[in-house]
Copies of this chain bind each other. A is one copy, B any other.
Amino acid sequence: MKEHQGGFTLPGEAGYEQLTLEMARKWGADVIRDSDGTKLSPEIVEAGYRIYSTICIIREHNAFAEAHPECQQQTFLSSDPVTALSDTLEIRPLDGYFTEQFELNDSPEGLACWQVWDRTQDCLVEKDNWTYRDGVIRVTNAQPYHRYTASVLCWRIWEEINMYNHTTNHWTTEHLRQLDPRHPLAWAYLQDWLKKWCEDNPDTNVVRLTSLFYNFVWIFGSDARRRTRFVDWASYDFTVSPAALKAFEETYGYALTAEDFIHKGWLQATHRVPTENKRKYMDMIQHFVAEKAKVLVDIIHSYGKQAYVFYDDSWVGMEPYGPCFSKVGFDGLIKCVFSGFECRLCAGVDVPVHEIRFHPYLFPVGLGGLPTFSEGGHPEKDAMDYWLHVRRALVRQRVDRIGLGGYLHLTIGQDAFNDAIEEMAVSFRKLWNLHEEGAPAELPVTVGVLHSWGSLRSWTLSGHFHETDGNILIHLNEALSGLPVSVRFLSFEDVVNGALDGIDVLINAGREGDAWSGGSVWRKPELVTAVTKFVHEGGVFIGAGEPTAAEGGDTRLAMAHVLGVDLDRGEYACHNAWEFEEDADIPVHIVPEAVPVTRGIRLTAPETRVLLSENGVPKMTLHAFGKGKAVYLGGFVYSPGAARMLLELLTCLTGTDGTAAGCCESTDVECGWFPASRTLVVMNNAEHAVSTRVRTPEGEKTVDLEPLEMRFLSE
């Protein structure tokens, strides 16, 4: 790839033909795409660039949806609880929900799925004891002062991304509906529509599918004080329908009910340990989505076009690390990225082309509602913030393309932003070329990240960093995304089945009962035994937050005997704690602010070394166990310094000399060493100039770096 051209996707804009071509030259684009709601004009299409065209396959078929409302998508919802004051009560199931999004499915088929629950008694109300009419459920033979809920099936009558844009950006256009490909009528219609589309768009080289069929779960409320009631980027609630339930029953021989989705009203967020039924249901949906997606991809291929899929919005069921993704036949995967872990997520997928779309989106305001390309915005700063996260991941693994999205005309007058993107594009291409010449050096350290989802949720938890940053693990994943180590994502089942072979460091990070820590799985002796053996024989275990926490054992942390610390949820009442003194004498640059405290942590053994504590609570400890070691971290907050601390922990605990991958004396600087090219890539994470010595297998040198500079040093 030339340094100044290629691997760059530009969002073209009709009416700004000159600008489009000018910016394509500046940024070295080889592809021009349309964005949501924009169409490219002939001047652009015919300028010699490859053309991506965006399709959201299930959306923009309002006429069909109105003619066939039974083809629309659905979901289960639970009413808010109603307290019975006598032996009868009324429930209006959609009270509190956004009725522009939901409509009761009170067809006979829909009603058959409804349930009414006595949540106080935790039991189902018999169907004899409730009736439904005109939006109201009437319960008889109720227990006074018990609380009742109704689980109802609803049509989703507003496609959620369109709804979000309407409500956030005050759009006034028609509300777009969405079709469920599980309905035979809809499925036949969508295939025909796609064929016609391909015929109508001969200039398009790549059909850019804005994901596939089912949106991530996004449930709006009626009250502006809680407009979003629930949002989970990785849950499957929006795939449900009587037909899907029937398919489940046919597949597994038993039926799911509303409660499998409603789950006492909690729903089943991705951050929670999935039930066995949820896993089975997801598996079924994944196969369904892949099967249908393959048909669409085949249609696209039949028109001589390529099919790239954008992994966002209505992506549900097509996890790139799921069992079916590679069977679909996509030609490329596009991932929008704010963070390093998203780059790695994209880069590691089994698909020919890996493309990332940078942020900020060319839009007046960003996702958080703050200005970007409007008064008060600093898009060049935003771009640099994201780039600092992304570039260190790009050093570790090759990504094939980069790009932008949105309205190109917003770049007019944004010279600082435009120059920054140009510079990033050059750096990206240099990195791509280095990767082509040979992989960067990696330390002989394999890290296993252990949680309920295993490889299915490689790198990501559920959505972007800023949506999940209350979880410790996403901070660790972000740190790992730029470190010169090998990373695998393991499920608990994997570990029991021998997946610790070849692992040097095992990480478990989360809060008690969440999917990342693991919950009650830690009461399984075979799991505890496998991890105990792993450490005793020389492995390293890093637990963060409330790792391995489960109720019912003789310690709250199942690995307390290995970690040398336990979590007190009250059971230690009257048990005195070990006194300790801090002892941070290890070759690691410890960053106290990167390690928050977890309340209730206490030593279980006098030999546990406390590396860091806060108000008497240990927050970073080291405990030897057999030939292995365990480190406890109260938490982990990503920063370049925190990533450096993690790297040093990994090398120090495994006894690895980091020189092979390049060592920077300054903790502000990271580097990548490409042995085949004999090229050192040095990144200054500091906003001030830094001079540092860097050690590689080829020797040591001193490098002077500008603030935030990325420098390529060839011998």
**A contact residues vs B (CB 8 Å cutoff):** 81, 83, 85, 119-122, 143-147, 149, 217, 223, 225-232, 235, 264-267, 269-272, 462, 511-514, 523, 525, 528-529, 532-533, 536, 551-554, 561, 569-580, 599, 606, 626
Closest 9 CB pairs of A and B: A264-B554, A271-B573, A269-B574, A232-B574, A269-B573, A145-B532, A145-B529, A225-B579, A119-B554
| B511 touching A264, Cβ below 8 Å | no
Query: What is the minimal beta-carbon distance from A519 to any residue of chain B, in angstroms?
Result: 9
Question: Which B residues touch A232, using CB under 8 A?
Answer: 573-574
| B121 touching A576, Cβ below 8 Å | no
Question: Which B residues touch A552, using CB under 8 A?
Answer: 122
Bound-state CA distance A122–B554 (Å) is 9
Interface of A is mostly: loop
Most buried by B among A145, A227, A271, A272: A145
Bound-state CA distance A327–B107 (Å) is 70
Q: Nearest residue in B to A121 (C-beta to C-beta)?
A: B525
Q: Nearest residue in B to A467 (C-beta to C-beta)?
A: B574
| A514 touching B570, Cβ below 8 Å | yes
Number of copies of chain A assembled together: 2
Question: Which B residues touch A267, using CB under 8 A?
Answer: 574-575
Q: Nearest residue in B to A82 (C-beta to C-beta)?
A: B561
Bound-state CA distance A15–B313 (Å) is 89
Sampled A-B contacts (17; CB under 8 Å): A83-B532, A83-B561, A119-B554, A120-B525, A147-B554, A225-B579, A226-B577, A264-B554, A267-B574, A267-B575, A269-B573, A269-B575, A271-B574, A462-B574, A512-B570, A513-B570, A514-B570
Contact flag A574-B235 (CB < 8 Å), given A226-B579, A553-B122, A554-B119: yes
| A533 touching B145, Cβ below 8 Å | yes
* Residue from B230, B561, B578 within 8 A of A147 (CB atoms): B561
* Residue from B271, B525, B571 within 8 A of A266 (CB atoms): B571
Most buried by B among A81, A264, A561, A570: A570
| A265 touching B576, Cβ below 8 Å | no
Known A-B contacts: A85-B626, A147-B561. Give 15 more (CB < 8 A): A85-B536, A119-B553, A145-B528, A223-B578, A225-B606, A226-B577, A226-B578, A264-B553, A265-B554, A269-B573, A269-B574, A271-B570, A272-B570, A512-B570, A514-B573
Question: Which B residues touch A119, using CB under 8 A?
Answer: 553-554
Contact flag A81-B120 (CB < 8 Å), given A226-B577, A267-B574, A573-B271: no
| A575 touching B533, Cβ below 8 Å | no
* Residue from B85, B230, B580, B599 within 8 A of A576 (CB atoms): B230
Contact flag A576-B525 (CB < 8 Å), given A265-B554, A513-B569, A514-B570: no
Q: Nearest residue in B to A224 (C-beta to C-beta)?
A: B579
Bound-state CA distance A631–B715 (Å) is 70
Query: What is the minimal beta-carbon distance from A480 to any residue of chain B, in angstroms?
Result: 22
Bound-state CA distance A151–B535 (Å) is 27
| B144 touching A569, Cβ below 8 Å | no
| B536 touching A81, Cβ below 8 Å | no
Q: Nearest residue in B to A569 (C-beta to C-beta)?
A: B513
| A146 touching B573, Cβ below 8 Å | no
| B529 touching A574, Cβ below 8 Å | no
Bound-state CA distance A225–B533 (Å) is 29
| A228 touching B573, Cβ below 8 Å | no
Bound-state CA distance A502–B146 (Å) is 23
| B569 touching A81, Cβ below 8 Å | no
Most buried by B among A149, A270, A551, A569: A569
Question: Which B residues touch A532, using CB under 8 A?
Answer: 83, 145
Query: What is the minimal beta-carbon distance from A627 to any residue of chain B, in angstroms?
Result: 11
Q: Nearest residue in B to A546 (C-beta to C-beta)?
A: B570
Question: Which B residues touch A579, using CB under 8 A?
Answer: 225-226
| A578 touching B525, Cβ below 8 Å | no
Question: Which B residues touch A121, using CB under 8 A?
Answer: 525
Question: Which B residues touch A513, using CB under 8 A?
Answer: 569-570
Question: Which B residues touch A229, using CB under 8 A?
Answer: 575-576
Query: What is the minimal beta-carbon distance from A377 to any residue of chain B, in angstroms?
Result: 25
Contact flag A525-B144 (CB < 8 Å), given A553-B122, A578-B226: no
Question: Which B residues touch A536, using CB under 8 A?
Answer: 83, 85, 145
Question: Which B residues touch A270, using CB under 8 A?
Answer: 573-574
Bound-state CA distance A225–B606 (Å) is 8
Question: Which B residues touch A231, using CB under 8 A?
Answer: 574, 576
